[in-house]
A and B are shown apart, each in its own frame.
Chain A
Amino acid sequence: MKAVILDGILLGLAFGLLGVGLTLVYGLGGVLNLAHGAFVVVAAMVTSHFISAGQPTALAAAIGVLAGAGAGVAVDLTLMQPVYRQRGEHRTLLGLLLTLGLAFVIEGLLNWRNPSGALYIDVSGNPVHILGVAESAGSLWASAIALATGAVLVAFLAGTTFGRAVRSVIQDETGARLIGISPARVRTVIFALSGGLAGLVAITRAMTAPVTINVGFDLTIFALIVAVVGGLGSVGGAFLAGILLGIVNTVSAYYIGQYITTIVLLGAAALTILIRPRGLLGR
C-alpha cells in the first residue's frame, strides 16, 4: 500500500507539471490550449533528433525545452491574435477550436515525417529506496524536476514583480491595464513559459517511458483534468490536484483496473465542475 501511494505521489508530481502549463494559459487569456500535448511531442521529437545527432543528452534536452517555449511564442503571436480579439465565451470557443486544429496539424506533420519517432531518456542508476519502497532512478529524477519546477513557479508568481503582474492579469485584466501592465505582453511570456513547461514534461516523462507522437491527445486530456480539478489559473492548484489524482490513479489501477481508473479520473474532473467549479485552489 505504501508503495502504491508513493508511486502515486511521484506520478502526481508529473501530472502537476503537465497541468500547470495548461492552467496558466487558460487563467491568463481564457484560452484552452488543446495543442498542449502536441507541444510536448514537439519538444520530445526535437530532443530526440539532437540526441540521435550525437549531442549530449542534457544539451539536447535544453534545446527541446527551448523548442517548446519557441512554439508557445510562435502560436501566441500568430494564431492566438484573432482569438484575443474576441471576448469571453467567444474567445474560449475560438481558442479551443483553433488549438484543436493546430494539434492535428502538428501531430499530422510529425507523423508524416517521422511516424515511429520516440524519445527515451535512460537515467541509469540503481533503484533508490525511499521510505522502504524501491523506485527507479528515472521516476525519482522526473518527480524531483517536477517538484523543483513547481516550487520555482510558485515563488516566481508570488515574489517577483513580473510574477505579480501575471497574477494581476489573471485576477482582473482591466485592473492590470490600468496600472500599466500590458496583458498582451504577459500572455506571450506565459505562453512561452507554458511551451517550455511542456518541453519539461517531455523530458521528465521520457525518463520513465518512451514518448511517442500518439500520446499527444492523451496528455492534453490529462492536463485538462488536472487543471480543472486544481482550479483553472492556479499553479498551486495544478500541483495539488496532480498529486491527489496521481494517488487516485495508482490506487485505483492497482486495486480495480485500468479502464475504471481512467473513468474515475475523468469523473473527478466532471465532479469538480459540477460541485466546485473553481476547483481546489482556484478563484
Chain B
Amino acid sequence: MGRRAADIARAILPIAATAAVLAVLPQVWFADSTYTTGLVVDALFLAAYGVGFNLIFGSTNQLFLCVGALASVGGYSAAILADKQSVPIIGGVAAGTAIAAAVGGILSWVAVRRSLTVIFTGIVTLVFSLAFENLVLGKRDLTNGDTGLIVTGAATRLADTRLGGYYLFAAVVVAFLIVFRALQLSHVGWAFRSLRDDELAAELAGVAVARYRIYAAVVGSAMIGLTGALYAYSDGFITPATYAFDQIDVPVLVLVAFGGLGTLLGPVIGATVFGFVDHALTTRGQLREALYGAFIIVIFLGFRQGVIPTATALARRLGRRRRSRTPVAPPQPD
C-alpha cells in the first residue's frame, strides 16, 4: 500500500505544487499591478501552448512548427463564429478547439502516411503556418485581414483587470498538466516513450506508431486551439500578428526546449524563465531582438537536454556521491 501511495503522490505532487503556487501568486506578488498581471498571463499562455507542443514534439517527435497557426485556427474560428453566427462563448471555444484538433490531426496523418522525417514535417508545418497566415490576411471579408477582428461576446471585465483572466488561464494550464500527466502514466504514455526511443523496435513490439502519433497531435492541437480561442475571448481583439510565427512558435520552441522536452513541468519552468527574460529584454529596447537571438543560441548550445533533465541528472549524481560516503553496515541479525 505504501508503494502505491508513493507512486500516486509522485504523480500528483508536481501538479499540486504548481497549482498551489499559481493560486497564491497574485496575493503574494502582483495583484495590484495590471501590467505585471498581464505579463504573467502572457507567460501562462505560452506555458499552455507549450504543454500542447510538448505533447506533440516532446512525446512523439513530430516537429509541428505551426503552433501559432493552430492557435490562430482556434482563435479565428471562435471569433468568426461569434461575429457571424452569434455563437455563445462556450460554443465558439469548443468549435475552435475541435477545428484546431482536426487540423492538427490531419497534418499528423499526412506526415505519417508519407513517412516524413522530422525536418520535412517541420518544413511542411512551417509552410502551413505561413500559408494560413496569408489565408487569414487575404480573406478580408471573413477575418478583417490585418485590421483585426473584434471578438463579440468577449468578457470585457477580464480584459480590464486581467485577474479573472489570470485565474482562468492558470486553471487551464493546470488542467493541461493533468491531462499530460495522465497520458504519461497510461499505456499511451508508454507507447509514446517507446516510439520516441526507437521507432522500429516499437513498431516490431506491436505499438501502432502511426495511430499514437496522430493521437498525440490531435490532443496537443486541441490544447493549442483551446488556448488560442480563449485568448481571443479574453483579449477581445485579434489580428494575424497575434498568432504570428515569431510571436508564438519561436518562444514556445525555445521555452519548451529550455525546460526540457518531454518533461511534465518543462513548459511551466521555461515559460517562467522566459517571462523574466522577456521583461528584462523589453527594457533594452533596440537590442531586444539581438539579445533574444543570443539567448536562443546559448540555450541550444549549452542546455541541450533542457533544465529539468540537466537538474535531475545533477541531483542524481550528487545523491550518488553522498551515498557512496555512507559506510555500508553489515546486515544485522533481527
Q: Interface on A for B, CB 8 Å cutoff? A: 32, 79, 82, 89, 92-94, 96-98, 100-109, 111-112, 115, 217, 221, 224-225, 228, 257-260, 262-263, 266-267, 269-270, 273-274, 277
| Closest 4 pairs between A and B when the two form their complex, measured CB to CB | A104-B293, A108-B290, A108-B289, A259-B138
Decide: B294 and A224 in contact? CB cutoff 8 A: no
Q: Are A89 and B297 in contact (CB under 8 A)?
A: no
Which residues of B lie under 8 Å from residue A106 when comparing CB positions?
290, 293
- Bound-state CA distance A93–B121 (Å) is 12
A274 touches B128 (CB 8 A): no
Which residues of B lie under 8 Å from residue A217 when comparing CB positions?
A: 246
* A74 vs chain B, min Cβ distance (A): 14
Assuming the A-B contacts A98-B297, A102-B297, are A221 and B287 also in contact, with contact meaning beta carbons closer than 8 angstroms in the complex? Answer: no
Within 8 Å of chain A (Cβ to Cβ): is B311? no
| 18 more CB-based (< 8 A) A-B contacts, given A97-B300, A277-B116 | A100-B293, A101-B300, A104-B293, A104-B296, A105-B297, A108-B292, A112-B287, A115-B286, A217-B246, A224-B123, A259-B135, A263-B131, A266-B131, A269-B127, A270-B127, A273-B123, A273-B124, A274-B110
- CB pair A259 B118 closer than 8 Å: no
B287 cross-chain contacts in A, Cβ below 8 A: 108-109, 112
Residues of B within 8 A of A274 (CB): 110, 114, 116, 124
**Nearest CB to that of B122 among chain A residues?**
A96
Residues on B with C-beta less than 8 A from A101 are 293-297, 300
Query: Does B301 belong to the interface (CB within 8 Å)?
Result: yes
Shortest C-beta distance, A264 to chain B (Å), equals 9
CB neighbours of A277 from chain B (8 A): 114, 116, 120
Are the C-beta atoms of A257 and B119 separated by less than 8 Å?
A: no
**CA–CA, A96 and B295, complex, Å:** 15
Given contacts A266-B127, A277-B120, contact A112 B138 (CB under 8 A): no
A113, closest chain B residue (CB): B286
Whether B289 contacts A89 by the Cβ 8 Å rule is: no
Q: How far is the CA of A102 from the CA of B298 in the complex (A)?
A: 11
Nearest Cβ on chain A to B245's Cβ, whole angstroms: 9
Interface residues of B in 236-255 (CB under 8 A from A): 246, 250, 253
Per the 8 Å Cβ criterion, residues 128-146 of B in contact with A are 128, 130-131, 134-135, 137-138
- Give the docked Cα–Cα distance between A241 and B187 (Å): 46
Question: Does B147 interact with chain A (Cβ within 8 Å)?
Answer: no
Q: Are A100 and B301 in contact (CB under 8 A)?
A: no
Report 30 cross-chain contacts, Cβ distance below 8 Å, ordered by A residue: A89-B119, A93-B118, A94-B300, A96-B119, A97-B257, A97-B300, A98-B297, A100-B250, A100-B296, A102-B293, A105-B297, A106-B293, A107-B290, A109-B287, A109-B290, A111-B286, A112-B290, A260-B134, A260-B138, A263-B135, A263-B138, A266-B127, A266-B130, A266-B131, A267-B127, A270-B124, A270-B127, A273-B124, A274-B110, A277-B120
Contact: B119 with A97, CB < 8 Å? no
Interface residues on B, range: 35 or more
Q: Is B16 an interface residue (CB 8 A)?
A: no
Per the bound structure, the CA–CA distance linking A258 and B145 in Å amounts to 13
Q: Find out whether the CB atom of B130 lies under 8 angstroms from the CB atom of A273.
A: no
Contact B290 A105 (CB under 8 A): yes
Q: What is the CA–CA distance of A93 and B300 in the complex, to the nearest angstrom? A: 10
Tell me if B288 is interfacial: C-beta within 8 Å of chain A.
yes
Closest CB-CB distance, A41 to chain B, in whole Å? 13
Residue B117, interface by CB 8 Å: yes
| Alpha-carbon distance between A259 and B137 when the two chains are bound, in angstroms | 7
| A92-B118, A93-B119, A274-B124 known; A108+B297 contact, CB < 8 A | no
Determine whether the beta carbon of A89 is less than 8 Å from that of B293. Answer: no
Q: Is B291 an interface residue (CB 8 A)?
A: yes
> B286's closest neighbor in chain A, by CB?
A112
What are the residues of chain B within 8 A of A100 when measuring CB–CB?
A: 250, 293, 296
Q: Which residues of B contact A92 (CB under 8 A)?
A: 118-119
With a cutoff of 8 Å between Cβ atoms, the chain B residues found around residue A221 in the complex are 130
Chain A residues near B291 (CB-CB < 8 A) = 108
Query: How far apart are B143's CB and chain A's nearest CB, in angstroms?
Result: 11
Assess whether B289 is in contact with A111, with CB atoms less than 8 Å apart. Answer: yes
Measured between beta carbons, the chain B residues less than 8 angstroms from A115 are 286
For B131, the chain A residues whose CB sits under 8 A away are 262-263, 266-267, 270
| B130 (CB) vs chain A CBs: closest residue | A266
Q: Which residues of A contact B246 (CB under 8 A)?
A: 217
Highest count of chain B CB atoms <10 Å: which of A111, A217, A266:
A266
With most chain B CB atoms within 10 A of its CB, the pick from A101, A109, A221 is A101
> Which residues of chain B are within 8 angstroms of A104 by Cβ–Cβ distance?
289-290, 292-293, 296
Give Cα A15–Cα B20 distance, bound, in whole angstroms: 55
Contact of B293 among A108, A266, A269 (CB under 8 A): A108
Q: Are A108 and B288 in contact (CB under 8 A)?
A: yes
Are A82 and B123 touching (Cβ within 8 A)?
A: no
Neighbouring B residues of A103 by C-beta, 8 Å: 293
CB distance from A212 to the nearest CB of B (A): 15
Chain B residues near A266: list those with CB within 8 A: 127-128, 130-131, 134
**In whole Å, how far is B310's beta carbon from the nearest beta carbon of chain A?**
16
Contact partners of B127 in chain A: CB under 8 A: 225, 266-267, 269-270
Q: Select B120's contact among A79, A263, A273, beta carbons within 8 Å.
A: A273
A-side contacts of B130, CB under 8 Å: 221, 262, 266
Task: Tell me which residues across on chain A come within 8 A of B250, comparing CB atoms.
Answer: 100
Alpha-carbon gap, A24 to B169, bound state (A): 46
